[in-house]
Each structure stands twice: as C-alpha cells, then as structure tokens.
Amino acid sequence: MLIDSHCHLDFPNFAEDLDQVVARARAAGVGAMLTIGTTLAKSAQVIAVAERFPNIWASVGIHPHEAEAEPDVQARTLVELSRHPKVIAIGETGLDYFYEHAPRDAQKANFRAHIQAARETGLPIIIHTRDADDDTAAILRDEVAKGEFPGLIHCFTSGAALAEVAVELGLYISFSGIVTFKTAANLREIAARVPAGRLLVETDSPYLAPIPHRGKRNEPAFVADTAKVVAAARGIGTDELAALTTANFTRLFTKANVPAALAA
C-alpha cells in the first residue's frame, strides 16, 4: 500500500469527480491520502473533504503565497484548528522566493508561527521551500534550538545541502512527480541517498503529474508512478518502497489511525 502524503483534494479541479478520484487511488494501491490546507479561510472545506472519507486526513495552514493575504497568523489559531480529529498536521507553510507572491518578511513570520504550533501540538509541520534553501535552513536551525518539532519538506526540489540539514534536524523528505522528470537526475540522486526512515512520496495534485501523465491533471493514483521511479533510484522493488514509505507516514503522522482507516 502507498500513501499520498500531500494532495489538494478541496481544489476546484476535483469538484466534479472526487469520489471517482478516491476510488481510482484505491485501485492503484494508494490506501490513504493527506489533503493540505493552504489558507485558514478554507480550512473548513479542507477538513470537510477528510470527513467524507475514512482514509483521508487534513492539515491546516497558510501557504507562503498567502502570507500577505492572511497576515499576523497566531500559533494559537492553528493549534485550535488542529483539535479536529481529522487534522493531523500543520501547514503547508514555508518560504517561496521563486514567485514571491508575498513579502519575504511576511513569509518568515508565517513560517515561524506554524513551527510554534507544531511544537505546541506535536503535529508535523509541512514545509514548502523553493529558491530559499539558505533562509529555510537558517530558520529551521534557529527554531529547533528553541525546542524540537516533527515535520517534513514536501515536494523536495532543493539541493543536497538542504536535504542533509533536514535529516540532521530530524525532518522527513517527500518527493513528488518532479522526481520522474528527465531533467531531475539530481533529485533522483538525492532520493537514493535519503535515509530509509525519512522518505515519503506524494503527488501535490492537481499539479506536477509524473511521467507518463505529464500535461494531465494530477491525482493521488499517480503517486504509484512516482514511487516506481524512487524505488528504482534506490535499487529496491516498488513493494518494498510502498511498505517503507507507509511505515514512515504512520510514524510521522501519529494522529492518523492508518490501519483503522484502511479497514473501513
């Protein structure tokens, strides 16, 4: 069984056929999914998706693109939202200097508030970082010094140095369909070296469909294609990769009752 550790099932792209999307994921061997919050204003609709299905959970948070639209987020707000039984993570949050849809100072403040919430709740923080490796590493080191917290860097596209920092600080690393792209040999090398106990896979759907689905709407079923490439990079079988990443998901997202969800 595989788990899609990061998707956006509340997005309009899935409004017409969500039941079929979830069914196709099951048929492809994807037993569970984590649908991700990107704004506090839409937390209710993200959670509502998770409530519909026993094998789907949710996170709550503010994407760095939205850091200016929803400023001054307080950790206590995130903590309160996380009390819902289907909410198992904080985020996504982090830094994005590629698009810079929000000022860097606002992104950094947003990131730190989410880290505080993760520290207080014990729930993993889901980190988005793009073209911001140095600042991401600096904030993570600074915040870990204040007290440890669980988490992962999702849709990893950074360099080996940030991967090493993440592992050093106890974080997990998740790979999306980007790792299947012909131009992503460096990512496959990093995926091959990530410690077995820190590895996850995801779709980030509806975006970033892996080969052979490029150009299509991405969906959780396609995480199986990403898993095949990561398994090949590591020199293991896809069944072993599936068992490994599912065990890692269960260990990181301790609030999720994975066995019960799959039996339902």
- Mark the binding-site residues, compressed into ranges: 6, 8, 92, 128, 154, 204
φ/ψ bin of 94: left (φ > 0), alpha (ψ from -120 to 50), beta (otherwise)? left
Whether 195 and 170 have beta carbons less than 8 Å apart is answered as no
Sequence-distant (≥ 6) Cβ neighbours of residue 136 within 8 angstroms: 94, 95, 127, 129, 153, 158, 162
**165, 141 contact by CB (below 8 A):** yes
Measured distance between the N- and C-terminal CA atoms of the chain, rounded to whole angstroms: 15
Q: Which residues does residue 89 pair with via DSSP β-bridges, in sequence order?
A: 59
Residue pair 118/150 in contact (Cβ under 8 Å)? The answer is yes
Angle at 117 between CA 84 and CA 191, to 5 degrees: 95
Q: Residues annotated in the binding site for a divalent metal cation, as ranges? A: 6, 8, 92, 128, 154, 204
